[in-house]
Amino acid sequence: MKIPPEIRIFWWRVINNFMPTKAELRRRHVIQESHCEVCGVPVEDLYHVAVDCPVARFWEATNISSPKTVVKAQWEAPQEGWIKLNSDGSFDTESSSGAGGWELRNCNGLVLAAAARPYESLPDALTAEALAARDGLLLAREQGHNKIILEVDNLSLAKPLRPNVADRSPIAGLSLGPVPKPM
């Protein structure tokens, strides 16, 4: 599998804890404070940046361009008995590659699962967003969840996912129909 160099470097930095989080910069005596500028928690470490922060800045660290506007909003918990799936995709026009990430949280905000993966040979950002949502739904079903709220930040993806909306977009084959049950 061919992986673009910037993706390989990014994941090498994540695995080896060489991401410039505020906690890591404080440990190296570059800065004095390690709190998260977005939500104010005392320690901004890699887990917090990628998963725990209500406005996770995980995709900003990849340097992969994305045409969407980020709106900072407070995460809202699902009702008891439901889980919330947040997904996001990114796309690089030069390499036609991208990445997707997703996380599952319960009604208390506890992260139940999270994952990310690279994508190759993508036509556009919308496809990256749709693949991330699809892969997140597959993960949720594999984990045995049936009551799932999908939250995406791309209106072009959100519209065809609404009930009773005919979808003739290029992603129709990725988004139509129920999510298959795991075998």
Specify the pLDDT at position 66: 35
Instruction: Quote the number of domains for the chain.
Output: 2
Instruction: State the pLDDT at residue 1.
Output: 62
How would you class 74 by CB atoms within 10 Å of its CB: exposed for 0-12, middle for 13-18, buried for 19 or more?
exposed
Same-domain check for residues 25 and 115: no
Contact of 132 with 175, CB cutoff 8 Å: no
Taking the CB of residue 62, how many other CB atoms lie within 10 A of it? 21
Residues 71, 141: one domain?
A: yes
Say if residue 89 is in the same domain as residue 163.
Answer: yes
Residue 146 lies in a domain: yes
Asked if residue 182 belongs to a domain, the reply is no
Give the pLDDT score at 173.
57
pLDDT of 106 reads 95
Residue 62: per-residue pLDDT: 47
pLDDT along the chain (183 residues), means of 10: 75 75 83 76 78 58 39 74 91 88 93 92 87 90 90 74 58 51 47
